[in-house]
Structures are given as C-alpha cells and as structure tokens.
C-alpha cells in the first residue's frame, strides 16, 4: 500500500471513495496475479511430486535399451536433446544474427520490409508445419521412413531463427548511434564498425537472445516426433539414424505404456522434471549472462 | 563474417559443450549398453551371433508394448543390432513398408490379396509377401460402476448401449442378463476411440457379425461419426476416461482393463470372460483367408464361434516382411527378428509386458516355418 501512503503531507487528504476504489483495485490485481500464478505453482508441484520417484542415478546413466517394464533411464534422450539443440543453435544463431545485422545496419526499402514480414510470419508457424517441412526435405533426400537428429535440428531451426532475429534486432538497435558514428569518423569501414563495435557492444544481449531461442525449441515435440523419431538406444551420430529426445521420450512413455503402466508414467514425469530443469537452467544462464556484462 | 560468428557463439558453444561433457562424463555410455562397438568380443561373449545393423520397423500401435519386450530380448541376444519400432499406426506402417522405409511392419489390418501381389521397395524381384500373425490380444468390454466388477452382456445389448438405445444401467435389457445384480440408475456414458484404431475395427467387426440387426454399421477403424458418446485418444485415453467416469463403458485392450469392471460376452449359450487362452483358441479355430500366397498367413476371424472355450472379441496383429530382400543383410535381420518374435520365450515375454495371448503351438509352428525361410 506504499503507493497510497507515500503522498506528501502538504496535499489535502484523499476522499474515502477514492481510497476504497484504490484498495479494491489493488486487491483485484493481486487476486488476478495469484490466479495467473496458480497454474505455474500447480505445474511445478505436480511435476516435482510425481517426477521425484524416478529421479535416481539410473535415470541419468541408462538408456531404455533392453529394458522392459520398470527401470531404465533417459540418458539417450538427454544426450539427444542436447545434441539436437546444439545443432539447431549452430544452424540458427549465425543466420538469425546475420539477418538482424542486415535489418539494422544495411536494410532499407522493399527487401528489408519483406524480410521483416517473413520473420513475423515465421514466428507464427506451428511447430508441426516446421516438422513437415523437415520431413519433406528428408524424404526427398533420403527416401521414405528416414530419420535423423540433424533433420530434427533443421526443423527446430525453422522455429528458432525468427526468435533470434527478433531479439537480436532489438539488441542491435539498442547500440548507441554515437558509437557507430565515432567509429566511422575514425575512418573505419562499415563492416569493421559492425564487427568491432556494434556486435561486441550487443554481445550479452545477443547471447541471451540465442539462449531464449533455445528455450523456445528445447521442449518441442511434434517436429522431432516426425523427423528424429524414437529409439531405445544411445545415438551420438546426428547424421544417421533415429535419435531420442526428452519431449518425445515423455510422449512415447505416456502413450505406449506396457502393462505396468505406473513405471512408464513415472519415467515420463521424471523426464518432464529434467526437461523443465534444463529450460530453467538455460533461462537463468541467459539472464545472468545479460546482466553480468551490461555496460 | 566469420569473426562475428566465432565471437558470438563461443559462449553458447562453451556452455553446451560443457553440458554435454558433463553428461558424457557422468555416463560415458549408457550403463545398460555394451561399451563401444566391438563386434568380435561381443559376438564371442553372446554365443557367436554375427548379426549387426539397424532394423527399422513400425506400424500398429497395438503391438507397442509387445514390441518393447521383443526388442529387449532380441537386442540382448544380439548386442550389435538395434531394432526400432515406431508406433505410427497400421496404415502408415504399411505405407512405409511398401515404400521401403521400414524393413518389417506391424499391422492390425493385413494387406488385401490384391495389394499383397504388388511391388514392395525392399523386396527382391520374385519375392512374395510374408504376413504372420504374431500378436493376439483379447479386447475387453470394460465399465466403471461402484461395487460391480463383472456383468454379462451379449452382443446385441452391447450394440444397443453403444448406439444409445439403452441409456441407463438399470435398463430391463441389462437386468435380464444379470439376475441377482443390483444395477444403479446411473446414465451410461459410452466411451470410444477418437483416433483410427485396429481395436475399434475388431470391436465393430464383432458387433457387425454377431448382432447385425442392432449394429447397422460395417467394421471400420474409425468409430461411426453419427453415434453419441465420449471420445478418447488411444488405449490410454480410454482407460483414463473409464477410470474417471462413473457409469462409463468402453472397449480396450484387455491388458489395460485390469482395474475396471469387465463384461463377459455370450459365446454360443455360455458367458465367457476374456482370457489369453480363450483368445488364442478363437484365432486357432478361425480359418485361413483363402486365395493368398503360402507365406501370407492371414486369418479370417470368425466372431460367431459357439465353442465356450473361445473368446472371439479378439485383435490379431501381423508382422509384414518380404520372403526375399534385395539386401541379404536385411533378410538376415528380418529372419532373425521375426523368428525371435514367434518363439515361445518372446511370446511369453509379450504376455508379461503387454498382456497379450501367446500364440498357440500350431500357430507358432506355422509362423516359424514361414519366417525361418526369409532371406
């Protein structure tokens, strides 16, 4: 209530109806905030309480190969998620940052407008469409039924590039024009100004933008289900063969439970917990990174 | 441009690499998998299997839990082989098999005789289509009523319930079949599959064959769209809807029905509850579908059996393969995997994990002679 009491004493007192209205509005907003918070709290409580039982060392050291019923783990899915996400970052970060540099530093006229429009459209692409795109590419290149982690990374890149472009664009626009002008005045060509002045200045923001893009894609299921497939076994080779990922692991454990369905459901909940923890860690890292280097 | 990307991506790449290194450092390789790929030592320790490679299969979702058991057993015996099974549904499985995406496929709905004589991408010229029944599963008619675990329901009553002719549990038609049971006046909520499913096809086929007057629909993988009722996604969805709804009735793979009330169906003049033995007996008592190649063992299920040792509300799922593959290694893999599936130990493992009915000895021997000739 500090906003009400922090009023200079010299002013006349606030009338009762206004104070009542202020209090009611305050309580209403607090209530709505709690309502908005409730699903999140419920989600965290549910996932932690149901995922707790299988949060054991085996879960992180075993795959599902040769496992029937209880036991087993998700190491193959954790490794798959990390590899595919990393590959998606390697594909989308350069494209996304380069597109943002073009928009901010060079882009004028019709081409820039078209690019902005396309990025807007791509932001709204449903993930399954990105999956179908990668599936079509994969089928055309390798024949029907082919699956690979790289194709999964390609599908995720389609989703990630617009996020990276958008956030990088904002970060590059925040770089003061004074810096650019100073560099240009010293005789530095535009490309060197970008490389040596603009990008280093915007670096923390760019990194956190890429990290947020990663958070956006790490939980995607539909495209990976289509093109990366699912396997019980470890696969470190992005270019060849099916690769398990955590979201698809959760889906398949839930959907294809055997007779002892509790064991499958517990594995799914634990995988969900691990996935949420990964996203949380990435978000935290992005925030720490951008706050640490702010100048 | 190169410098930009290096500059920008080093931190991310570092973090990711560190994360991966941490994971790998923790496990190196999965604890349950043979370390490294050293064919010679592995082969020596596991009895001289020389098989290696990847066998990609997929298709019927009904087989998923059984495939898990089969895969585990097979991969433990052949450490250098990886078998994958995508539960994509029968239609996609067959399509991928025809186009060469899967080496073998699982399907609830066999190819028609005409389709079976067509061309398949992985098969050598002159190869015939192999279809063998590998997975037999009784379908339970399950319900959720407080205090009632078992009921007798004949096929015309079941049809009337699912078409909405019978609305409440204390309907005289149900009471007449269940003397001595106090039925509540709860409204009946019929639950059906929202997705296209072999379970639905076998259930509707059973109703269409045994109660044609009460069930005017043909056997189909999709539930008739003009019928009311609760739709649920997948076997798990049906199980959860039934568990959550008092007064609900549905059909689902019997292995998933153990916590629910179960109906006995009328076979001849007796009431028969589902059992693995009765389901396998129903398949054995049915005749083979005529007019097919000697490797194409499709069964023409007879739902109107009258022998009370049979339970004709059953789903039969097949494995599809080529009798001869274009690539001999593919042939060796398919031969070994399918031979494993029809072996009695694998059938027992599937019964454990999936609650299926093991193949009878006659069926298993017939399957084994066909799949053993795959090359």
Q: How far is B162 from chain A (nearest CA, A)?
A: 25
Distance CA A240, CA A228 (A): 10
Whether residue B60 lies within 8 A of chain A, CB to CB, comes out as no
| Alpha-carbon torsion, ordered A129, A134, A138, A144, to 10 deg | -20
Domains, in order of start, for chain A: 57-294 (1.10.3720.10)
Check if the beta carbon of residue B93 is closer than 8 Å to that of residue B58: yes
Q: What is the full per-residue pLDDT of chain B (375 aa) written as tens digits?
A: 333 444 444 455 555 555 555 555 444 577 777 654 433 333 333 444 678 888 999 988 888 889 999 999 999 899 889 999 988 888 888 988 998 889 999 998 889 888 888 888 889 888 899 999 999 989 999 999 988 888 999 999 999 999 999 999 999 999 999 988 889 999 999 999 988 888 898 999 999 999 999 999 998 888 998 888 889 888 888 988 999 999 999 999 888 888 889 999 999 889 999 888 899 899 988 888 888 888 899 998 889 888 889 999 999 999 999 999 999 999 999 999 999 999 999 999 998 888 888 998 888 999 999 999 998
* Optimal mutation site among A83, A164, A258, A280, interface B, most CBs of chain B within 10 A: A258
Q: Which chain B residues have a beta carbon less than 8 Å from that of A101?
A: 4
Helices of type H across A52-126: 57-61, 75-101, 109-123
* Optimal mutation site among A207, A232, A245, interface B, most CBs of chain B within 10 A: A232
Across the interface, whether the CB atoms of A257 and B236 are under 8 A apart is answered: yes
The pLDDT tens digits for A232-260 are: 888 888 888 889 999 999 998 888 777 77
Q: Which chain B residues have a beta carbon less than 8 Å from that of A243?
A: none
Distance CA B41, CA B182 (A): 66
Residues in chain A: 295
Of B330 and A144, which is predicted with more confidence?
A: B330
Across the interface, whether the CB atoms of A61 and B349 are under 8 A apart is answered: no
Check if the beta carbon of residue B247 is closer than 8 Å to that of residue B188: yes
Q: How many CB pairs under 8 A join A and B?
A: 163
Across the interface, whether the CB atoms of B30 and A260 are under 8 A apart is answered: no
Residue of A nearest to B255 (CA): A259
Span A260-275, average pLDDT: 91
Check if the beta carbon of residue A88 is closer than 8 Å to that of residue A153: yes
Across the interface, whether the CB atoms of A261 and B236 are under 8 A apart is answered: yes
Query: For residue B237, which phi and psi values (nearest 5 degrees)?
Result: -65, -45
Of B16 and A14, which is predicted with more confidence?
A: A14
Residues in chain B: 375
Distance CA B365, CA B132 (A): 11
Is A27's pLDDT higher than 80?
yes
Q: How far is A171 from chain B (nearest CA, A)?
A: 13
Q: How many C-alpha atoms does B349 have within 13 Å on its Cβ side?
A: 23
Check if the beta carbon of residue B358 is closer than 8 Å to that of residue B280: yes
Is A55's pLDDT higher than 70?
yes
Is A8's pLDDT higher than 80?
no
Q: What is the CA radius of gyration of chain A?
A: 25
CA distances from A25 to A2, A21, A193 (A): 14, 6, 51
pTM: 0.79
pLDDT of residue B140: 92
pLDDT of residue B26: 45
Residue of B nearest to A254 (CA): B236
Q: Which chain A residues have a beta carbon less than 8 Å from that of B255?
A: 259
* Optimal mutation site among B3, B6, B7, B8, interface A, most CBs of chain A within 10 A: B8
pLDDT of residue B8: 44
Number of Cβ within 10 Å of residue A229's Cβ equals 26
pLDDT of residue A199: 92
DSSP code string of A194-262: IIIIIHHHHHHHHHHHHHHHHHHHHT--HHHHHHT---SS----TTSB----HHHHHHHHHHT--SSHH
Return the SS3 of A113: helix
| Alpha-carbon torsion, ordered B270, B276, B277, B283, to 10 deg | 90
The pLDDT tens digits for A206-230 are: 998 898 899 889 988 989 988 888 8
- Nearest CB neighbour to A199, from listed B4, B87, B100: B4
Across the interface, whether the CB atoms of A60 and B26 are under 8 A apart is answered: yes
Query: How many degrees, rounded to 5, is the angle at CA A194 between CA A188 and CA A199?
Result: 135
What residues of chain A, 251 to 270, have a C-beta less than 8 Å from chain B? 252, 254-261
Residue of B nearest to A94 (CA): B5
Among B232, B173, B167, residue whose Cα is nearest residue B199: B232
Distance, CA of B65 to chain centre: 8
Across the interface, whether the CB atoms of A256 and B27 are under 8 A apart is answered: no
């Amino acid at each position: 209530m500090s906003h009400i009491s922090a009023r200079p004493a010299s002013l006349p007192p606030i009338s009762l109806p206004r104070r009542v209205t202020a209090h009611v509005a305050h309580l209403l907003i607090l209530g709505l905030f709690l309502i908005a918070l409730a699903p999140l709290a419920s989600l965290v409580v549910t996932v932690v309480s149901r995922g707790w039982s299988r949060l054991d060392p085996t879960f992180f050291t075993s795959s599902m190969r040769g496992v029937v019923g209880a036991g087993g783990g998700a190491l193959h899915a954790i490794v798959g998620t990390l590899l595919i996400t990393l590959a998606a970052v390697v594909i989308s970060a350069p494209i996304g940052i380069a597109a943002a540099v073009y928009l901010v530093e060079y882009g004028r006229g019709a081409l820039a407008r078209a690019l902005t429009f396309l990025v807007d459209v791509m932001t709204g692409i449903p993930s399954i469409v990105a999956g179908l795109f990668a599936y079509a590419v994969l089928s055309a290149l390798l024949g029907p039924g082919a699956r690979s982690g790289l194709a999964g990374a390609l599908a995720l890149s389609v989703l990630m590039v617009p996020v990276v472009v958008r956030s990088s664009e904002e970060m590059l626009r925040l770089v003061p024009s004074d810096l650019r002008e100073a560099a240009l005045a010293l005789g530095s060509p535009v490309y060197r100004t970008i490389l040596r002045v603009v990008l280093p200045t915007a670096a923390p923001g760019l990194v956190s933008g890429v990290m947020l893009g990663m958070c956006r894609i790490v939980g995607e299921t539909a495209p990976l289900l289509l093109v990366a497939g699912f396997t019980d076994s470890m696969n470190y080779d992005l270019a060849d063969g099916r690769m398990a990922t955590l979201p698809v692991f959760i889906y398949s454990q839930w959907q294809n439970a055997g007779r002892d369905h509790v064991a499958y459901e517990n594995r799914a909940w634990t995988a969900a917990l691990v996935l949420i923890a990964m996203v949380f860690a990435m978000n935290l890292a992005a925030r720490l990174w951008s706050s640490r280097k702010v100048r | 441009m190169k410098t930009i990307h290096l500059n920008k991506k080093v931190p991310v790449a570092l973090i990711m690499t560190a994360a991966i290194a941490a994971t790998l450092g923790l496990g190196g390789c999965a604890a349950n998998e043979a370390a490294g790929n050293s064919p010679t030592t592995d082969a020596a320790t596991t009895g001289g299997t020389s098989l290696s490679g990847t066998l990609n299969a997929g298709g019927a979702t009904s087989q998923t839990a059984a495939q898990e058991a089969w895969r585990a057993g097979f991969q433990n015996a052949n450490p250098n082989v990886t078998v994958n099974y995508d539960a994509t549904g029968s239609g996609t499985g067959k399509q991928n098999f025809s186009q060469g995406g899967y080496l073998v496929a699982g399907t609830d709905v066999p190819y028609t005789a005409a389709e079976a004589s067509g061309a398949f991408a992985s098969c050598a010229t002159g190869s015939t289509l192999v279809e063998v029944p590998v997975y037999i599963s009784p379908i339970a008619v399950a319900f959720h009523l407080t205090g009632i675990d078992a009921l007798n329901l004949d096929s015309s009553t079941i049809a009337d319930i699912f078409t909405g002719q019978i609305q409440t549990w204390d309907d005289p038609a149900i009471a007449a079949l269940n003397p001595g049971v106090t039925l509540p006046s709860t409204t009946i909520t019929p639950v059906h599959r929202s997705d296209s499913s072999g379970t639905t096809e076998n259930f509707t086929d059973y109703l269409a064959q045994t109660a044609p007057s009460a069930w005017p629909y043909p056997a189909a993988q999709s539930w008739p769209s003009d019928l009311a009722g609760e739709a649920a996604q997948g076997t798990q969805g049906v199980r959860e809807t039934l568990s959550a709804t008092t007064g609900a009735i549905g059909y689902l793979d019997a292995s998933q029905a153990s916590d629910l009330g179960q109906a006995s169906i009328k076979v001849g003049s007796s009431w028969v509850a589902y059992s693995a033995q009765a389901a396998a007996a129903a398949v054995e008592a049915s005749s083979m579908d005529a007019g097919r190649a000697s490797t194409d063992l499709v069964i023409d299920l007879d739902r109107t059996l009258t022998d009370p040792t049979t339970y004709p509300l059953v789903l039969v799922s097949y494995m599809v393969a080529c009798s001869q593959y274009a690539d001999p290694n593919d042939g060796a893999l398919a031969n070994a995997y399918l031979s494993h599936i029809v072996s009695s130990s694998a059938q027992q493992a599937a019964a454990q994990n999936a609650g299926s009915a093991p193949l009878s000895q006659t069926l298993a021997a017939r399957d084994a002679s066909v799949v053993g000739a795959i090359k």
